[in-house]
């Protein structure tokens, strides 16, 4: 079959139906609004069905594109239209958006009557015309129709002040008058130069060479309709004041249609004009995102975001010279992501009554709508598994391949800024109080478009995965498992918890044979460890909406990470685990700002990783480009990255991974994120999630090893960073009052140790890092659970408000005691094993100075660990805490399991380490350990865990018994017995022995804990906001100013473009 037969499915009917229906509406009586509305919907549905049917034929039946003649005369003498795959896809997008917007606008349309419906129909029809036509002047006519109908639809505003929309419409008309003058002058001179108005004819005649100025005028006029920065003030006013359903159309459909028009013009212009499209696109992308940052009005913010996304697609079109055949995949990937998400968000904004971003909190209690918002947000920021993700991946790789690194950096920067304001907004939605506590009214016709966009988003995710051709993320079992929890969210939490645990364990059993010993350790921690941590979640009651999809998304990402063999799979998994953990962290009561800083650092890190992979892929020497598929990079082939790029790749990837392990400088997100998370989430994100970063570093170091950059050995630099991280992390932990923050800072320090071990690049260093991986998982999960349990019972996390809880919460006490013994690395527990290997490892190393720094960190750890047990469990019981009970069963149970695990691991570390030790021989043949019975020997000495346990046990028992004996006559003093003291202190906290406990040390070492990193990143954020605020002053609201902008834009573009 070569096409779709039948008059009723002729693509021309897309236009004819729209027009005919619009004219027909005039025959109806003004009061027959219902009939008119029905007719409108039927017409729009038919207009959407035609391209849908054709799309089917093009994709699945291999139909050829059709040329449609009008007037029975061939082009260029009559106007012709073309209908192929891109046209079908775009008209489907436009007409569906139109249909759904018409549904969304039901109230307004019925109220305003048939005239409004006619304008809507013509608007949709005109956009179809822009897409289909191959005639330049015809394009102008359809553009004008689109402009005029836009000016009309703006007026359907549902705001309380319709005058605003009126002003916006007028400004739009003013600017569009200038645009059409340029377009017309350009067209007529282009006609004069080539003797044709046909677009393909102009391209053939080489218009851009014969009459460059005429082409420039046409091009710049069409580009101006894309709202380029700074000539776009008018568009933002429209976005702000128009009804949301229209803004959806304007953003998604008009944007798509005009982009296609710009693409046609680039066809005429040829390669010489691509740089201008690129420049305009990228400047708009960056500037609009920057300007969006300080916005507080939701629809205006979405407007800026629309402008930015359109700019990005224009930039992609401008990169056609290097993107080649990948252009449609990338451009459409970005375009449909933008269109569906933006339309969805605009429709969603119809469900919010007030217009500040914080007012979206009204949606926060509706899981379905939150899910929709999250989906749209993920689509816009290019997160997996949505089309934008695949597109971003391809785009960045092509840019790196062509050495366009500045452009690459700008794309990622803009995307990060965009993620910044979108995720901030999501935080408002979930965590702010809805005004008056009321939720928005939710009529079906306002809900249907949102849900349709949601469904479309996921369908497109599948489609793009399929088109991508290598890995369809939506077919990955772990991800599907996580997504299944979205459908099961109505179940009670305990059932979902059981399912989640079963899933994790089952997946481990299914796959454990696949891992090498190193990966096996991570698999055990991620899957079995994850299941263990989830035991604590049995404590939660009710349905706990949103918890399981997020948690399982994180676990899915982590397990996909260790299963990944290619850079693409690795990166996709990395983003999945990042997003999942973000949603998890955001669940904490006061975690909104911390979750935001977490996701931004993580995405920033992820973008560095992406850039690193892309540059690596470009630098891997390849014998046959075509055969291997230019962009598929195996993780293993990182080792082959050639010289000049290699250290840079290493640097980018290392910094990327270190944002996840919270190395010093990029650590500021961690304390808040881990401390404010829910009780059972803290162990997940601390004990388990941090290991993902370490895993990344391991993969990187194994593949790329030692790299030199300007004579600096990068692993040596890493050593320094690690040592400083350990020292400063510990030091900052010392001065915390909040028990969970203390533990969080302690994690920073601990990760410093692990990184140090890796950076040593010798056998024992790596073994030590793996010991840290295991240990840190166990004791940090345990400590977070214990402290979380205490905090739950006492209602505070401030340690000085606790005290004397040893009798009331003995089990928690035991957990903390065991935990800090293990953490501090004193015998007999497993921490000591880590230390022992560590000391052996540094004997092997020749770098001394960072080692000194690291040694300093050791005693500092004692300071905060001591405080943890002393201030919480020892000392005097507070009055208000007399009735505190032991932590809930489900929170204590995992702690006790961890205690047992720690003891086992302390006694027989060989269980876990022996295989790894042997495995590491492959990479570091020298300096392995010998394992004989219970005894472990290195070249410097030996370690017998069981013997140590016995010795320490004997000493401890002896001392303890002696203490009991000595104190047998001691008199117990009751708490309020003031015989031995003077008077009641005036301000308890200032004299309390636990508050500002280490004040003397602060005097001595406080300068080291100056929040330099916090101040730095704060300054960066402020700078961006200030830049955004300054930029906003350009848009003073005066239509004439906007006309100035447009003229200035045209002239500057001319001089820059013609100069280049």
Partner 1 sequence: MVKRFIALVLVLAVGGLFAVLLATYAPDAELNQTARYYAQRTAQDLGAANIVTAIIVTYRGLDTLGEVTVLFLAATIVGLVLSQGGQSGTPARGRVPVGELLTTGSRYLAPLILLLGVYVFVNGHLTPGGGFQGGAIIASGTLLLLLADPLRRFGHRLIAAVESVAGVVYVLIGLLGLILAGGFLDNRILPTGALGALFSAGAIPLIYVLIGLKVGAEVSSMLVSLAETDAETREEA
Partner 2 sequence: MPGIAQLAMATGFLLILIGFYGALTRRNLLRMIVAFTVAGTGVNVVIVSIGYMHGRTAPILDATLAASDAAARIIDPLPQALVLTAIVIGVGITALMLAYALRLYSQKRTLDIGRFTELKG
The single residue among 164, 405, 416, 442 that binds partner 2, judged by CB under 8 A, is 164
Nearest to 1057 by CA among 183, 212, 175: 212
CB 676 within 8 A of CB 769: no
Task: Write the binding mask 288 to 327 for partner 1: x where contact by CB under 8 A, - elsewhere.
Answer: ----------------------------------------
In terms of Cβ atoms closer than 10 Å to its own Cβ (0-12, 13-18, 19+), residue 987 is exposed
Closest approach, Cβ 1038 to partner 2, in A, equals 5
Q: Is 334 in the site for partner 2 (CB under 8 A)?
A: no
Considering only residues 45-74, where is the footprint of partner 1 by CB under 8 A?
Answer: 68-73
Q: Is 161 in the site for partner 1 (CB under 8 A)?
A: no
Closest approach, Cβ 65 to partner 1, in A, equals 17
Give 119 or 681: the residue with its C-beta nearer to partner 2.
Answer: 119
Closest approach, Cβ 26 to partner 1, in A, equals 3
Q: Is 793 in the site for partner 2 (CB under 8 A)?
A: no
Q: Is 1001 in the site for partner 2 (CB under 8 A)?
A: no
Q: Is 116 in the site for partner 1 (CB under 8 A)?
A: yes
Rounded to 10 degrees, what is the CA torsion of 996, 997, 1000, 1005?
-80
Nearest to 989 by CA among 799, 816, 736: 799
Provide the token pair at 502: 């079963």
Closest approach, Cβ 79 to partner 2, in A, equals 12
Q: Is the dihedral of CA 924, 926, 932, 937 positive or negative?
A: negative
Phi, psi of 387 (to 5 degrees): -55, -40
Contacts of 808 (CB under 8 A, 6+ apart): 877, 881, 884, 885, 886
Q: Which of partner 1, partner 2, none does residue 180 bind to, with CB < 5 to 8 Å depending on kind?
A: partner 2
Whether cis (ω within 30° of 0) applies to the bond prior to 470 is: no
Nearest to 789 by CA among 877, 895, 867: 895
Q: What span, in angstroms and rounded, lies between the C-alpha atoms of 774 and 781?
A: 11
CB 199 within 8 A of CB 219: no
The residue range among 234-242, 502-510, 560-568, 821-829 that interacts with partner 2, by the rule CB under 8 A, is 234-242
Q: Which of partner 1, partner 2, none does residue 330 bind to, with CB < 5 to 8 Å depending on kind?
A: none
Nearest to 90 by CA among 262, 306, 231, 280: 262
Q: Is 214 in the site for partner 1 (CB under 8 A)?
A: yes
The single residue among 50, 63, 120, 168 that binds partner 2, judged by CB under 8 A, is 168
Q: Is 975 in the site for partner 2 (CB under 8 A)?
A: no
Nearest to 546 by CA among 455, 481, 485, 478: 485
The single residue among 177, 209, 957, 975 that binds partner 2, judged by CB under 8 A, is 177
Number of neighbours of residue 974 by Cβ within 10 angstroms: 7
- Alpha carbons within 13 A on the beta-carbon side of 488: 20
Closest approach, Cβ 796 to partner 2, in A, equals 43
CB 452 within 8 A of CB 107: no
Provide the token pair at 601: 């650092």
Q: Is 148 in the site for partner 2 (CB under 8 A)?
A: yes
Closest approach, Cβ 78 to partner 1, in A, equals 5
Q: Is 184 in the site for partner 1 (CB under 8 A)?
A: no
- Element (H or E) spanning 607, and its range? helix 592-619
The residue range among 230-238, 379-387, 485-493, 859-867 that interacts with partner 2, by the rule CB under 8 A, is 230-238
Q: What span, in angstroms and rounded, lies between the C-alpha atoms of 783 and 819?
A: 6
The single residue among 37, 54, 191, 777 that binds partner 2, judged by CB under 8 A, is 191
CB 370 within 8 A of CB 364: yes
Q: Is 137 in the site for partner 2 (CB under 8 A)?
A: yes
Considering only residues 69-88, where is the footprint of partner 1 by CB under 8 A?
Answer: 69-73, 76-79
Closest approach, Cβ 188 to partner 1, in A, equals 10
The residue range among 164-172, 346-354, 465-473, 959-967 that interacts with partner 2, by the rule CB under 8 A, is 164-172
Q: Is 1047 in the site for partner 1 (CB under 8 A)?
A: yes
Provide the token pair at 553: 């998304």
Q: What span, in angstroms and rounded, lies between the C-alpha atoms of 777 and 18?
A: 63
Helices assigned H by DSSP within 195-249: 199-204, 207-210, 212-224, 233-241, 244-248
Q: Is 996 in the site for partner 2 (CB under 8 A)?
A: no
Closest approach, Cβ 463 to partner 1, in A, equals 32
Q: What span, in angstroms and rounded, lies between the C-alpha atoms of 286 and 273?
A: 21
Q: What span, in angstroms and rounded, lies between the C-alpha atoms of 878 and 868?
A: 16
Provide the token pair at 78: 């009559």
61-68, long-range: CB < 8 A, 24+ apart: 61/1, 63/1, 63/2, 63/3, 63/4, 64/2, 64/3, 66/3, 66/11, 68/10, 68/11, 68/12, 68/132
Closest approach, Cβ 292 to partner 2, in A, equals 11
The residue range among 177-185, 397-405, 430-438, 677-685 that interacts with partner 2, by the rule CB under 8 A, is 177-185
Give 180 or 796: the residue with its C-beta nearer to partner 1.
Answer: 180
Q: Which of partner 1, partner 2, none does residue 849 bind to, with CB < 5 to 8 Å depending on kind?
A: none
In terms of Cβ atoms closer than 10 Å to its own Cβ (0-12, 13-18, 19+), residue 472 is middle
- Element (H or E) spanning 83, and its range? strand 80-83
The single residue among 138, 337, 715, 736 that binds partner 1, judged by CB under 8 A, is 138
Contacts of 278 (CB under 8 A, 6+ apart): 314, 315, 318, 319, 407
Q: What span, in angstroms and rounded, lies between the C-alpha atoms of 898 and 912?
A: 15
The single residue among 110, 185, 405, 467 that binds partner 1, judged by CB under 8 A, is 185
The single residue among 1, 6, 27, 1000 that binds partner 1, judged by CB under 8 A, is 27
Q: Is 1044 in the site for partner 2 (CB under 8 A)?
A: yes
Q: Is 206 in the site for partner 1 (CB under 8 A)?
A: no
Number of residues binding to partner 2, judged by CB under 8 A: 47
Give 250 or 1035: the residue with its C-beta nearer to partner 2.
Answer: 1035
Number of neighbours of residue 374 by Cβ within 10 angstroms: 21
Q: Which of partner 1, partner 2, none does residue 866 bind to, with CB < 5 to 8 Å depending on kind?
A: none
The single residue among 228, 729, 1039, 1057 that binds partner 2, judged by CB under 8 A, is 1039
Closest approach, Cβ 72 to partner 1, in A, equals 2
Q: Which residues of 511-525 are buried (b: 16+ CB within 10 A; e: fewer)?
A: beeebebbbbbbbbb
Closest approach, Cβ 159 to partner 2, in A, equals 11
The single residue among 86, 113, 167, 934 that binds partner 2, judged by CB under 8 A, is 167
Q: Is 189 in the site for partner 1 (CB under 8 A)?
A: yes
The single residue among 10, 70, 180, 845 that binds partner 2, judged by CB under 8 A, is 180
Q: Is 115 in the site for partner 1 (CB under 8 A)?
A: yes
Give 216 or 772: the residue with its C-beta nearer to partner 2.
Answer: 216
Q: Is 203 in the site for partner 1 (CB under 8 A)?
A: no
Interface residue list for partner 1 (CB under 8 A):
7, 10, 12-13, 16, 19-20, 22-27, 68-73, 76-79, 112, 115-116, 118-119, 122, 126, 129, 133, 135, 137-138, 141-142, 144-145, 148-149, 151-152, 155, 162, 166, 185, 189, 192, 195-197, 211, 213-214, 217, 1044, 1047-1048, 1050-1051, 1054
Interface residue list for partner 2 (CB under 8 A):
137, 141, 144, 147-148, 151-152, 161, 163-164, 166-171, 173-174, 176-178, 180-181, 184-185, 187-189, 191-192, 197, 233, 236-237, 240-241, 1032-1033, 1035-1040, 1043-1044, 1047
């Amino acid at each position: 079959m070569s096409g779709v037969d039948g008059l009723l499915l002729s693509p021309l009917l897309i236009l004819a139906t729209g027009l005919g229906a619009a004219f027909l509406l005039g025959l109806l009586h003004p009061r027959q609004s219902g009939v008119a509305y029905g007719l409108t919907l039927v017409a729009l549905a038919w207009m959407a069905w035609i391209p849908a049917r054709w799309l089917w034929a093009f994709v699945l039946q291999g139909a050829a594109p059709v040329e449609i003649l009008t007037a029975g005369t061939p082009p260029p003498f009559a106007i012709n239209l073309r209908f192929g795959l891109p046209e079908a896809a775009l008209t489907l997008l436009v007409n569906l958006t139109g249909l759904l917007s018409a549904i969304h606008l039901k109230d307004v349309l019925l109220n305003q009557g048939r005239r409004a419906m006619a304008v809507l129909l013509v608007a949709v029809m005109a956009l179809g015309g822009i897409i289909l036509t191959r005639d330049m002047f015809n394009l102008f006519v359809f553009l004008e129709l689109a402009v005029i109908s836009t000016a009309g639809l703006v007026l359907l505003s549902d705001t309380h002040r319709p005058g605003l929309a009126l002003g916006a419409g007028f400004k739009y008309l003013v600017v569009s008058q200038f645009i059409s003058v340029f377009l017309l002058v350009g067209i007529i001179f282009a006609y004069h130069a080539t003797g044709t108005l046909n677009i393909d004819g102009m391209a053939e005649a080489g218009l851009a060479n014969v009459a460059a100025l005429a082409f420039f005028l046409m091009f710049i006029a069409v580009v101006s309709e894309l709202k380029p920065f700074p000539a776009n003030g008018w568009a933002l006013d429209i976005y702000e004041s128009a009804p949301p359903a229209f803004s959806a159309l304007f953003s998604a459909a008009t944007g798509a249609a005009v982009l296609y028009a710009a693409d046609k013009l680039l066809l005429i212009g040829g390669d010489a004009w691509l740089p201008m499209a690129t420049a305009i696109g990228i400047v708009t992308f960056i500037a609009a995102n920057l300007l969006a940052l300080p916005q507080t009005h939701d629809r205006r913010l979405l407007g800026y975001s629309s402008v930015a996304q359109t700019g990005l697609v224009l930039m992609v079109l401008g990169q056609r010279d290097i993107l080649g055949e990948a252009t449609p995949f990338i451009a459409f990937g970005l375009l449909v992501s933008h269109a569906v998400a933006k339309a969805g968000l605009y429709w969603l904004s119809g469900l919010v009554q007030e217009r500040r971003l914080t007012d979206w909190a009204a949606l926060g209690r509706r899981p379905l709508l939150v899910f929709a918002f999250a989906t749209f947000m993920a689509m816009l920021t290019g997160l997996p598994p949505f089309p934008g993700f695949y597109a971003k991946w391809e785009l960045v790789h092509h840019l790196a391949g062509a050495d366009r690194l500045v452009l690459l950096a700008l794309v990622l920067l803009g995307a990060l800024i965009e993620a910044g304001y979108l995720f901030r907004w999501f935080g408002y939605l979930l965590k702010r109080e809805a005004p008056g506590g009321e939720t928005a009214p939710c009529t079906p016709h306002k809900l249907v478009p949102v849900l349709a966009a949601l469904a479309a988003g996921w369908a497109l995710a599948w489609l793009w995965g399929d088109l991508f051709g290598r890995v369809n993320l939506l077919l990955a079992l772990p991800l599907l498992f996580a997504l299944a929890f979205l459908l099961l969210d109505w179940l009670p939490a305990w059932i979902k918890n059981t399912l989640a645990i079963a899933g994790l364990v089952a997946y481990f059993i299914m796959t454990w044979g696949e891992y090498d010993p190193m990966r096996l350790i991570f698999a055990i921690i991620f899957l079995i460890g994850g299941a263990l941590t989830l035991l604590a979640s049995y404590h939660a009651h009710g349905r706990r909406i949103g918890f399981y999809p997020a948690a399982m998304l994180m676990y899915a990402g982590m397990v996909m990470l260790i299963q990944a063999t290619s850079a693409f799979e690795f990166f996709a998994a990395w983003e999945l685990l990042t997003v999942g953990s973000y949603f998890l962290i955001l669940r904490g009561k006061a975690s909104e700002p911390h979750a935001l800083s977490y996701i931004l650092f993580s995405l920033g890190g992820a973008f560095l990783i992406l850039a690193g992979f892309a540059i690596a892929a470009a630098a891997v020497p390849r014998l046959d480009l075509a055969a291997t598929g230019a962009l598929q990079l195996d993780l293993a082939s990182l080792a082959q990255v050639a010289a000049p790029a290699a250290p840079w790749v290493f640097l980018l990837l290392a910094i990327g991974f270190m944002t996840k392990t919270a190395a010093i400088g990029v650590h500021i997100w961690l304390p808040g994120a881990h401390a404010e998370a829910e009780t059972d989430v803290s162990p997940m994100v601390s004990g388990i999630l941090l290991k993902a970063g370490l895993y990344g570093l391991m993969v990187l170091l194994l593949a790329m090893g030692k790299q030199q950059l300007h004579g600096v050995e990068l692993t040596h630099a890493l050593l320094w960073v690690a040592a400083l991280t350990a020292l400063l992390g510990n030091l900052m932990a010392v001065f915390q009052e909040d028990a969970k923050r203390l533990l969080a800072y302690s994690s920073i320090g601990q990760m410093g140790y692990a990184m140090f071990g890796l950076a040593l690049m010798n056998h024992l260093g790596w073994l030590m890092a793996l010991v840290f991986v295991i240990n840190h998982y166990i004791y940090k999960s345990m400590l977070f659970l214990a402290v979380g349990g205490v905090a739950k019972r006492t209602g505070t996390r401030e340690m000085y408000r606790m005290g004397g809880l040893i009798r009331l919460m003995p089990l928690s006490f035991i957990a903390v005691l065991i935990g800090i013994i293990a953490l501090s690395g004193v015998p007999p527990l497993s921490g000591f094993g880590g230390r022992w290997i560590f000391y052996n490892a540094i004997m092997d190393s020749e770098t001394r100075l960072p080692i000194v720094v690291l040694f300093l960190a050791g005693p500092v750890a004692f300071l905060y660990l001591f405080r943890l047990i002393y201030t919480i469990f020892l000392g005097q019981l507070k009055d208000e805490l007399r009735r505190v009970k032991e932590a809930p069963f489900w929170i204590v149970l995992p702690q006790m399991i961890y205690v047992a695990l720690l003891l086992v691991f302390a006694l027989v570390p060989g269980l876990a380490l022996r295989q790894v030790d042997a495995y590491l021989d492959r990479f570091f043949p020298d300096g392995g350990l010998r394992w004989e019975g219970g005894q472990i020997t290195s070249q410097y000495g030996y370690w017998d865990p069981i013997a140590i346990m016995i010795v320490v046990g004997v000493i401890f028992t002896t001392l303890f018994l002696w203490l009991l004996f000595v104190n047998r006559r001691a008199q117990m003093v009751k708490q309020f017995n003031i015989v031995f003291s003077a008077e009641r202190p005036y301000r308890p906290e200032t004299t309390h022995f636990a508050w500002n406990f280490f004040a003397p040390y602060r005097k001595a070492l406080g300068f080291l804990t100056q929040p330099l990193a916090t101040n730095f990143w704060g300054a960066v954020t402020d700078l961006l906001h200030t830049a955004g605020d300054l930029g906003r002053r350009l848009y003073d609201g005066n239509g004439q100013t906007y006309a100035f902008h447009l003229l200035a834009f045209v002239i500057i573009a001319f001089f820059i473009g013609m100069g280049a």
